[in-house]
Amino acid sequence: MATATAKDVDRAVVSARRAFDDGRWSGLAPAARKKVLHRIADKIEAEALALTVLGVRDNGTEFNMALKAEAGSAAGTFRYYAEALDKVAGEVAPTAPDVLGLVHRAPVGVVGAIVPWNFPLMIGAWKLAPALAMGNSVVLKPAETASLSLLRLAEICADCGLPDGVLNVVTGPGAVTGAALSEHMDVDVMVFTGSGATGRRLLVASARSNLKRCYLELGGKSPNIVFADAKDLDHVAKVSAMGIFRNSGQVCVAGSRLLVEASIHEEFVARVVAHAQALRVGDPLDMNTQIGAVNSETQLAANLAHVERAAAQGGEVLCGGGRILSETGGTYMAPTVVAGVTQDADLFQKEVFGPVLSVTAFESEDEALRLANATDYGLAAGVWSQDLSRAHRCVAGIRAGVVHVNTYGGADNTVPLGGVGQSGNGHDKSLHALEKYVDLKTAWIQL
């Protein structure tokens, strides 16, 4: 994939600024923008199979899941914001009898968007659709290892009537292309999903340049709490296993820390191990595959190093822990469960972004909540219990942007996704996401 230099990025930003300033998109009536976004959604649906194959070849995601999570989700996101954009109204403030105070929501201008490799089409749509809905121009940088589906999406947008210059795509590594985009003086807002280290660099770049707003989704180390009164432990074990192992654990909200009440610990963990060992890992284009490949050799090596360090720090590897199917040349890793992980262990504290589950026992609800909150992250969590009062206490007590109760991994465009702490700031999805892409402007009118 070509590397866009600082000069290339500048050309893209200049193009986006020109398109914004002349009103070819920002000046359109909401109804006109709505039609274009619906056409984009229609085209994504029409090309869902081809887009999914592009994504699978890029990042190794298992085909059946990618078809729904990537193309299906992206189409739904564009359609959601197509319907939302003309529902965003201004406000009249109660000021004085002879004063009219109007609050307008104006597009911010040029949005820089950096998208990760794990779900490029889905997450790309989370950034693009609301930004475009509000009338902005966008410069989009996909991950250098997963650019194909987003390049095709850009072509789809042009085919569906998005004016030239409104969407610009620059490819290349973060250290070159991403740095140039985040430091550009004419980018008004940066939106990013990825690692905490890169998120910090974006904040530094903002301070060094034009103090552009930065909205960051930085991953997590999400706890999944199973109380002894959870209903149907085998079902809970199956859902919990998929909550970490789907997409080879390369999911921001993955339930990577399993906290299990001590009285059921041995039985329940055995069920999780059985489900993990039963998962079919292999060719992501094989319809029988349940778990595809790890994104790259670099990521696989990092995953294996985490497991090795966990064992050295006292963890017990109950299953997996190594590379498999190496004869295929693919980057496959066995679903891995590590028990006896203590709070101070790296595997408890650090995001792996791979198919590695840590297991820790707890004795009480208070201890479960303490352990749940004992990392710097706060993106997602799960709670399994038939006690409704306890579930409400846990939802209130866990520091996370999303808390699942008696399920794990549920999501919809109607509800926001975002975290607290080192999981970032701001939200994707829902009407709340639109606030990232507008500026509030007050008109004070003397009557």
Structure tokens given for 48? 């869902």
**Distance in angstroms (rounded) separating the CA atoms of residues 251 and 175:** 23
DSSP E strands: which ranges in 231-285? 257-261
Indicate the SS3 state at residue 261.
Answer: strand
User: Would you give the DSSP letter of residue 395?
Assistant: H
Vertex 308: Cα angle to 303 and 311 (nearest 5) = 130
Indicate the SS3 state at residue 343.
Answer: coil
Catalytic residue among 47, 217, 261, 351, which?
A: 217
**Distance in angstroms (rounded) separating the CA atoms of residues 139 and 157:** 13
Catalytic residue among 252, 261, 351, 394, which?
A: 252
Nearest to 256 by CA among 307, 293, 312, 322: 307
**Distance in angstroms (rounded) separating the CA atoms of residues 99 and 92:** 10
Vertex 317: Cα angle to 60 and 289 (nearest 5) = 25
Burial label for 146, CB within 10 Å (0-12, 13-18, 19+), is: buried
**Distance in angstroms (rounded) separating the CA atoms of residues 87 and 341:** 49
Q: Judge whether 220 and 351 are in contact, CB under 8 Å.
A: yes
Containing 50, the helix (H) or strand (E) segment is helix 48-59
Question: Active site includes 157?
Answer: no
**Distance in angstroms (rounded) separating the CA atoms of residues 28 and 386:** 51
| Number of Cβ within a 10 Å radius of residue 47 | 18
Question: Active site includes 252?
Answer: yes
**Distance in angstroms (rounded) separating the CA atoms of residues 429 and 129:** 10
Indicate the SS3 state at residue 212.
Answer: coil
Q: Which residues are catalytic?
A: 217, 252
